[in-house]
Amino acid sequence: MKTTFRRQSAYYYSEAFKSIRRNGFLSLATVTTVTVSLFILGVAILLVLNISSYLQGLADDVEISAFVDQTYTDEQALALRDQLLRLNGVEEVDFVSREEAMDSMQTRYSSSGYDLEETLESNPLPNSYRIKASDPQNVQALAQQIAGMEGFYRVNYGQDIVEKLFAITKGVRWGGGCIVGMTILGAVFLIGINIRLSIFARRKEIYLMKLIGARDGFITRPFYIEGIFLAVMGAIIAAIILMGGYEFLLREWTNTSYAMLFPLISDHNLLFRCYGILLAAGLLLGWLGTAISVRRFMDV
């Protein structure tokens, strides 16, 4: 049994590599196409990841401001804190007293030389709370909930910012997805042509194998090896280029002043998972391209 297996797998591989050599130029073109399409996929993934993490960072800073009814005393206003903390999805609650609000406004206007207290005579600002949601996606729902509570007359949050940020993320994902989809389609198509040619070159042999009583698996295995090998080769090359390119970018970027404003992802666990995805995608592409051709062109 063991010798059978060894002899047969030797056969599978020798047939597969004979085909790759015979198809020489096309094999090269296939590997290149897979490399290009998976490289684009990789770039898209890294881009989306970076933009998402950047936007997440922005969205994390979006806070809800809830203004306490002016009729409430300071004690009553402070008591609202516990109610807020009891809400679902609340991460942090900060009380801002009227005096603190005034101070911070004064600081903002100090450069213009105004003395607000003098101008206004009394402090018109209400007590308020700054609330942070544990999930930025929940900000809107949470804000509405707070607005419905007794004791608050007005709730503000960065509606526009939050919604815009998520729209941008969505757009980036869609656009990237379309480009990636098209290049992957091209890669599968080329792998398919490659396998189709290999099948064509060996059609007499395939017919004979069928007549002699070879199982379908025996006949198709060399083609799967060929298709998957080419695709994984392409994937490995794409991953190496991407890895090298990103590491280079990371090094250069951290030396610039932009790095603070727009930090790049440098979590290597996450990055290696990205490169792993490329290899898995290569495997899948190879399998898919081969399967399509084998199914269409090997019915004897």
Partner 1 sequence: MVELYELTKTYPNGVTALDQISLKIDQGEFVFLMGHSGAGKSTLIRMLIREEWPTSGQIFVASRSLVRMKKKEIPYLRRSVGMIFQDFKLLESRTVEENIAFAMMVVGASSRDIKKRVKAVIHEVGLDGKEHSFPNELSGGEQQRVGIARAIINHPVLLIADEPTGNLDQRTSEEIMELIYDINRAGTTVIMATHAQELVKTARRRVVILDKGKVVADMPPGAYMR
CB-CB neighbours of 128 under 10 Å: 22
The verdict on 86 binding partner 1 (CB under 8 A) reads no
Which tokens belong to 277?
A: 């995805």
Q: Which segments of 113-183 are extended strands (E)?
A: 128-133, 152-157
Angle between helices 268-297 and 24-60 (to 10 degrees): 140
Minimum CB distance to partner 1, residue 292 (Å): 19
The verdict on 21 binding partner 1 (CB under 8 A) reads no
The single residue among 21, 212, 251, 257 that binds partner 1, judged by CB under 8 A, is 212
**Binding piece for partner 1, criterion CB under 8 A, among 2-10, 96-104, 173-181, 278-286:** 2-10
DSSP category for residue 244: H
Which tokens belong to 280?
A: 């898995």
26 in Cβ contact with 193 (< 8 Å)? yes
Rounded CA gap, 232 and 236, in Å? Answer: 6
**Binding piece for partner 1, criterion CB under 8 A, among 22-30, 210-218, 266-274, 278-286:** 210-218
**Binding piece for partner 1, criterion CB under 8 A, among 26-34, 74-82, 117-125, 203-211:** 203-211
Minimum CB distance to partner 1, residue 296 (Å): 17
Minimum CB distance to partner 1, residue 218 (Å): 6
**Separate counts of helices (H) and strands (E) for the chain:** 11, 4
Alpha-carbon 241 to chain mean position = 19
The verdict on 205 binding partner 1 (CB under 8 A) reads yes
Minimum CB distance to partner 1, residue 205 (Å): 6
The verdict on 11 binding partner 1 (CB under 8 A) reads yes
The single residue among 109, 200, 218, 262 that binds partner 1, judged by CB under 8 A, is 218
244 in Cβ contact with 43 (< 8 Å)? no
DSSP category for residue 137: G
The single residue among 170, 215, 268, 273 that binds partner 1, judged by CB under 8 A, is 215
The contact set with partner 1 (CB under 8 A) reads 1, 3-4, 7-8, 11, 204-205, 207-216, 218-219, 300
